[in-house]
Amino acid sequence: MIDHQAGIFREGTAHHIFLEFSVPGTPASLPGRALAEAPVASGQQVIGFGRGLLAGLRSPESSPPPALADFTTVEGRGKSAPASQRDLFIWLHGEARDELFARALAWRDALSGVAHLAAEEHGFRFRDSRDLTGFVDGSANPKDDARLSAALVPAGPHAGGSFIFAQRWVHDLAGFGALPVADQERVIGRTKADSIELTGDAMPPDSHVSRTDIKRNGEAVKIYRRSSPVGGVADAGLYFLAFSADPDRFRWLLESMYGLAADGLRDRLLGHSQPVTGSFFYAPPPAALLAAFGDGAAP
């Protein structure tokens, strides 16, 4: 098995903290190597980099893969996915919220000389791993070894790395909840109680499942989702987090959702939930990850 950041694949954790940092300068390395190396008590961490930051680091091991780019706004048919590209991404997740919070504080302090915490979200497991809409999240995620194929660069100098797509979504829970359950199911493309995919004429071509279950050159477009409910009563939603061996898969899925594919259909879900941020990152394998960090002091 190729080496990779193990936290990508630890499933079922109860608590999440998502940190997005802006790095205004061009440091040759980052402080915080001890934090990058140290395990999180009762949890995991995953670290990703934007293209600009990764390209500026002095270590050749940290050079960005050619396919890595900044996320740019997707202008669709009547809806858009906004860009808010950040430089550094840290995802903490596990069973002990206090330990995750302590690690988040440590990262903030370690990076304070070179980075600004631009966005912070706290996620949680909702009931039996459901989205706040009440539907099971990630039902179609690849399983077992198929997760590795979907998420990890398979070979070459960046083998074991993974491309990341991160978005914060805000749900219209009141509006969605006012729909009859059968209409909610047609928006999503699955039954609400037991997450069974609709079939035949019962499956609308503009349901969320239909717009994200796509093929390219005859092959299914697979990504590995690790999303989590986030927010409070006023801004409840989802932190959409996905990993892929190829960032083009994210773009193809967005084109299908936003009415930019050949059939021109737009995902019904966009009438009930909207993204408010968007960034692409790259999670290098462990050796390249550590090469991005100095000795813990600001460069």
Active site residues: 137
Instruction: Give, as one character, the DSSP assignment of residue 196.
Output: P
Amino acid letter at 53?
L
Element (H, E) at 107: helix 97-111
Whole-number Å distance between alpha carbons of 207 and 37: 42
Of 163, 151, 122, 117, the residue nearest 279 (C-alpha):
163
CA 156 from centroid of its chain's CA atoms: 24
* Two structure tokens written together for 76: 């669709």
> Is 109 strand, coil or helix?
helix
Whole-number Å distance between alpha carbons of 244 and 223: 5
Whole-number Å distance between alpha carbons of 299 and 271: 46
Whole-number Å distance between alpha carbons of 238 and 271: 15
* Two structure tokens written together for 293: 């960090």
Neighbours of 44 (CB within 10 A): 18
Query: Which residue is it, tokens 């050079």?
Result: 63
* Two structure tokens written together for 119: 């966005």
* Two structure tokens written together for 189: 């493309």
